[in-house]
């Protein structure tokens, strides 16, 4: 017989509307292992909090997405969205699976080069490319995705100076029926801006128009919006073929497929409502195949999928610091990680599981981080069993935008490990030290000494 676990008693007021005398049952089972490695041992070895990535899950996500699109379309190329997670080890897993790189800044561009991605396989997006950035991209033969007319004119001048013909695409924004519309990046389709930019490029003959790019939004729950977008992109490509007898090499549909995270305020869980990759693939591929391209004019389909490929491969492990009662009677639990490293908790209700066995009692709980600021709330309300100081929790779907958007505030950022498909763990980033942090600080000589009385 298994020994029953001790659970400290709790007293709480009865509320109307409870499903039974114990309240709503927690929907989650304990998560004691990730890819066969125990959460306790990971924390014992690498500390708490700790980011953990599953290499197996990442490879599976990409292979599944590739297969899904390639089943429906003859020429598909994924490019890893660096800003979603640009830890070099993470990028290289996707590069090993055949992904190119998609970058939105010079910093990311240099990272991709250092990782060994050939220049012509780095798609250079973003509104802020300096003259120097453009020169480097031209030298490396990278497709430059032009964001605005000022960039187009600058690039044209630089190309003339360098006596080069850069490979370019334009970023197109459009009405896909999703509001608010993302119209701050690129050239608008409906107003004719995009067509004007295309005409300028092709008439000047100084740039080689190789593609068309769009990125209609992020965490898009409506696949049909991609059908609208793909049809409008195809319309531009066919217009180019018609007027200039020029074949566009690729249509880049950007990223934005939703991960299974749950948006705050959503009535249903993300895992219940998020479309699958095949839902997106079906509308995109159908729209392109039906658009009227002659068979050998069919452009390649580029995808810059970010969050949908990494979110479920990332976990954040943490520990309970303490419990307390708020003045209104609610239970609060303080964890050792806050919004500094789980920035995404501002817009997601992250799924969080206890990492040890628990009984049937649960309680509505507020989860706070350890930061000394009021906005440090991980979950405003979650049904959890009583957790004791020292217990561990696992945050799910913590792979996208957590590491890249983390901020350093009053504490040092934790280590990051990857579990390989054999179940071996590898540190892919050490925990920050005070030395790392102060590395670039300078102390003027006259401030070096002081005396306190
Ligand atoms: C952020 C971004 C992506 C990735 O978006 P996800 O929503 O994470 O899939 C792709 N392309 C561009 C241009 C981006 O800015």
**Domain assignment present for 27:** no
Return the residue whose CA atom lies nearest to atom 7 of ligand 1: 256
Tell me the CA distances in angstroms from 10 to 218, 265, 342, one per residue in order.
42, 29, 29
Domain termination residue (choose one: 288, 311, 334)? 311
Tell me the CA distances in angstroms from 48 to 191, 220, 225, 392, 415, one per residue in order.
52, 33, 41, 9, 9
- For residues 322 and 301, state if they share a domain: no
The total number of structural domains in the chain stands at 2
- For residues 75 and 144, state if they share a domain: yes
Cβ 61 under 6 angstroms from ligand 1: no
**Domain assignment present for 286:** yes
**Domain assignment present for 8:** no
- For residues 147 and 275, state if they share a domain: yes
In ligand 1, the atom with minimum distance to the C-alpha of 219 is 7
> Angle 88-96/106-114 helices, nearest 10 degrees?
60
Confidence (pTM):
0.93
**Domain assignment present for 6:** no
**Domain assignment present for 284:** yes
- For residues 110 and 145, state if they share a domain: yes
Residue 26 has what pLDDT? 52
The CATH number covering residue 387 comes to 2.40.37.10
- For residues 103 and 242, state if they share a domain: yes
Instruction: Tell me, in angstroms, the distance from the centre of ligand 1 to residue 402's CA.
Output: 14
Residue 14 has what pLDDT? 57
In ligand 1, the atom with minimum distance to the C-alpha of 125 is 13
As a whole number of angstroms, the distance between CA 110 and CA 129 comes to 13
Domain termination residue (choose one: 311, 337, 354)? 311
- For residues 179 and 298, state if they share a domain: yes
Residue 231 has what pLDDT? 98
- For residues 193 and 77, state if they share a domain: yes
Residue 362 has what pLDDT? 87
Domain termination residue (choose one: 311, 331, 359)? 311
Residue 190 has what pLDDT? 97
- For residues 285 and 324, state if they share a domain: no
- For residues 234 and 321, state if they share a domain: no
**Domain assignment present for 11:** no
**Domain assignment present for 164:** yes
- For residues 78 and 139, state if they share a domain: yes
The pLDDT tens digits along the chain (453 residues) read: 778 888 888 776 655 444 544 445 555 689 999 999 999 999 999 999 999 999 999 999 999 999 999 999 999 999 999 999 999 999 999 999 999 999 999 999 999 999 999 999 999 999 999 999 999 999 999 999 999 999 999 999 999 999 999 999 999 999 999 888 888 999 999 999 999 999 999 999 999 999 999 999 999 999 999 999 999 999 999 999 999 999 999 999 999 999 999 999 888 888 889 999 999 999 999 999 999 999 889 999 999 999 999 999 999 999 999 999 999 999 999 999 999 999 999 999 999 999 999 887 888 999 999 999 999 999 999 999 999 999 999 999 999 999 999 999 999 999 999 999 999 999 999 999 999 999 999 999 999 999 999
- For residues 383 and 348, state if they share a domain: yes
The CATH number covering residue 278 comes to 3.20.20.10
**Domain assignment present for 452:** no
Cβ 344 under 6 angstroms from ligand 1: no
Residue 27 has what pLDDT? 59
Residue 310 has what pLDDT? 98
Distance of CA 19 to the CA centre of its chain: 37
Residue to mutate (ligand 1; options 254, 270, 399; most atoms within 8 A of CB)? 254
Q: Name 146's bridge partners.
A: 170
Instruction: Tell me, in angstroms, the distance from the centre of ligand 1 to residue 254's CA.
Output: 6
Instruction: Output DSSP code: residue 141.
Output: T
Q: Which domain holds residue 423?
A: 33-53+313-437
Cβ 299 under 6 angstroms from ligand 1: no
- For residues 247 and 136, state if they share a domain: yes
């Amino acid at each position: 017989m298994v020994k029953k676990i001790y659970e400290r008693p709790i007293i709480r007021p009865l509320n109307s509307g409870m499903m039974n005398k114990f309240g709503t049952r927690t929907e989650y089972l304990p998560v004691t292992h990730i890819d066969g490695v125990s959460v306790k041992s990971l924390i014992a070895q690498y500390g708490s909090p700790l980011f953990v990535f599953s290499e197996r899950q990442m490879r599976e996500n990409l292979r599944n997405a590739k297969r899904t699109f390639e089943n429906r379309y003859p020429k598909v190329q994924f490019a890893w969205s660096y800003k979603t997670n640009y830890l070099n080890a993470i990028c290289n897993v996707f590069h090993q699976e055949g992904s190119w790189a998609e970058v939105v800044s010079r910093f990311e561009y240099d990272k991709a080069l250092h990782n060994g991605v050939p220049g012509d396989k780095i798609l250079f997006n973003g509104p802020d490319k300096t003259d120097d950035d453009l020169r480097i991209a031209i030298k490396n033969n990278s497709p430059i995705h032009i964001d605005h007319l000022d960039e187009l004119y600058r690039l044209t001048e630089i190309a003339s100076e360098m006596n080069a013909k850069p490979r370019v695409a334009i970023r197109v924004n459009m009405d896909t029926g999703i509001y608010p519309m993302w119209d701050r990046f690129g050239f608008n389709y409906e107003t004719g801006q995009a067509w004007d930019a295309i005409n300028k490029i092709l008439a000047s003959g100084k740039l080689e128009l190789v593609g068309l790019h769009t990125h209609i939004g992020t965490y898009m729950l409506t696949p049909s919006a991609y059908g609208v977008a793909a049809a409008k992109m195809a319309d531009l490509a066919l217009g180019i073929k018609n007027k200039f007898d020029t074949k566009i090499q690729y249509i880049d549909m950007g990223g934005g497929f939703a991960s299974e995270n749950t948006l705050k305020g959503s009535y249903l869980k993300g895992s219940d409502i998020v479309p699958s990759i095949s839902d997106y693939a079906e509308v995109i591929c159908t729209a392109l195949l039906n658009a009227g391209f002659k068979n050998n004019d069919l452009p390649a389909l580029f995808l810059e999928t970010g969050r949908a490929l990494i979110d479920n491969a990332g976990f954040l492990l943490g520990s309970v610091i303490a419990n307390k009662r708020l003045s209104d009677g609610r239970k609060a639990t303080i964890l050792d990680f806050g919004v500094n490293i789980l920035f995404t908790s501002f817009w997601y209700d992250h799924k969080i599981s206890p990492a040890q066995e628990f009984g049937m009692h649960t309680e509505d709980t507020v989860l706070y981080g350890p930061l000394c600021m009021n906005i440090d709330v991980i979950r405003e309300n979650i049904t959890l069993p009583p957790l004791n100081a020292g217990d561990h929790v696992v945050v799910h779907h913590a792979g996208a935008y957590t590491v890249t958007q983390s901020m350093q505030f009053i504490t040092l950022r934790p280590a990051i490990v990857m579990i390989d498909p054999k179940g071996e763990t590898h540190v892919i980033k050490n925990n920050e030290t005070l030395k790392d942090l102060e590395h670039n600080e300078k102390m003027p000589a006259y401030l070096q000494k002081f005396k306190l009385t």
